[in-house]
A and B are shown apart, each in its own frame.
Chain A
């Protein structure tokens, strides 16, 4: 409860206070980035989708209502929507982030460093062939099964947490997971 209470306060402050939002960002960036990475299998794309997720979170934090579910679950929901949108349209451009940077006149101090970092991460990912093989098979499932399986096995979420993120009853989540795994088995 204390954690919830403190997160609730932090979210309330984050609407007006950049430092508070910065704390929420630091707490959640890696989790969202790696979730996106495991869904897409592409570091640069995952980085873009993560950035879009946080830009949208920042823009909509005023409308975020604390209803018992965590701020993290809300971020996962935004990320899920971004991923769904990407998978549906087949291309992605970090429009919101670009707009934000243009309005600030922001230029990266060291573009080479940013690029090198992404290349290193991509090489690290390429070494995990077993994961990539699994991801490729999961990506052949219908999106509703992909999402629930990814949240369960790629993000390590419990049924209850998945239910919070997807705003679906826990029973529905279990059912989706059951059917998704049955379908996935045929690919192995």
Chain B
């Protein structure tokens, strides 16, 4: 053989050409394979058609050419429509995911758990997304990309907190799939933090579309209401969010006072022993009595709460009326000015409020409006890794999904 290549491998070529090659024979194996192949059913035998079969075949093949043209045209039309639907129609969102670390961003997610759109909810979020291309990415990969950007920007420091909220869009995602999505989102973040040796608090919530809509109407981000949801549960939180509409309060004012309202409700429940509905009723009455919410600037002390009494004495701010505890008809009296101590109190109360007992307790005294509008309720916020793992191991595509991963 002649090669036109460089002479530096001429010797090698000669060596290969003269190489003594193995030449084996395995006749018994060869024969066995031959027998197997030739006995195979792959060889078609002539089949004699029965008269009935011949008639059917004749009918099928004797259909007029115009009919075949019609069949062919319909087939092409169906294939074209199918192809168009598959490749050219925009994927539909089945869920929305909001992630807030400050910056805050939100993503719409398709049935195949891919990102359709990603938008910044604040200026920092918009700036962050301007440098990232998340469209079409798997949700897990998108979260890792975002986390990388946040980490590189020094935004995943230990004192910060990652808040994640998912809610369905439309009714194409079953509650179990939403829970699986939420669990996997949480797991992805936890894994990322563990891989990079980061320790931030992560809170994830599954909300209803109605809750998210009410929050958006009030101009609230997840960070504004996640503690409220954790403390009182989504159904009551939804009712609280709607108070500003119900009582015609300015959204801006309501947003400013939401923390204080939340604290007041928690205090009424935790320290006065009221159930959630009673606490909400009292808050409503208080707001009605004070529509400007000036009385909500700082919370009052509750006289019969031992811890608060101690604090009040130490602070020299005791002396609240003794009849406050029994005066449920005048709830505004409970709301006094003491914001600093209440901030401290809230920090103490939040973890306690975030337990199964609270959730169960709520279920037992679920307000009547839940029965008339069950969709208004959302799901509990999860805080532990075990909970996140229980929510699902993989981003599983819904059974009726038509989009590939």
Contacts and interface: CB of A to CB of B under 8 A. Distances in A.
Contact of A181 (B9, B25, B40, B41): B9
Interface in A11-61: 15-19, 21-22, 25-26, 29-30, 33-34, 37-38, 43, 47, 50-51, 54-55, 58-59
B24 A54 contact: no
Contact of B37 (A17, A21, A110): A21
A43 B34 contact: no
A108 interface: yes
A51 B22 contact: no
Given A17-B43, A58-B40, A174-B4, A113 B19 contact: no
Contacts of A184: 9, 12
B75 interface: no
Given A22-B38, A181-B5, A121 B19 contact: no
Contacts of B131: none
Interface residues of A, number: 55
A118 interface: yes
Interface residues of B, number: 37
Contacts of A19: 38
Contacts of B33: 25, 29, 50-51, 54, 97
Given A100-B40, A181-B12, A185-B9, A131 B28 contact: no
Interface in A97-127: 97, 100-101, 103-104, 106, 108, 110, 113-114, 117-118, 121, 124-125
Nearest to B23: A34
A114 B36 CA distance: 15
Given A110-B28, A131-B22, A177-B3, 5 more contacts: A18-B37, A22-B34, A33-B30, A101-B36, A185-B8
A188 B34 CA distance: 40
Contacts of A21: 37-38, 43
Contact of A131 (B6, B12, B19): B19
A135 to B, nearest CB: 9
A185 B13 CA distance: 9
A16 B15 CA distance: 45
A103 B24 CA distance: 30
A103 B41 contact: yes
B39 interface: yes
7 contacts: A15-B44, A103-B41, A108-B32, A124-B22, A130-B19, A152-B1, A182-B6
B42 interface: yes
Nearest to A187: B12
B32 A114 contact: yes
A100 B36 contact: yes
A18 B28 contact: no
B171 to A, nearest CB: 43
B6 A153 contact: no
Nearest to B42: A58
B17 interface: yes
Interface string B27-57: 1111011111111111110000000000000
Interface in B88-131: none
A3 interface: no
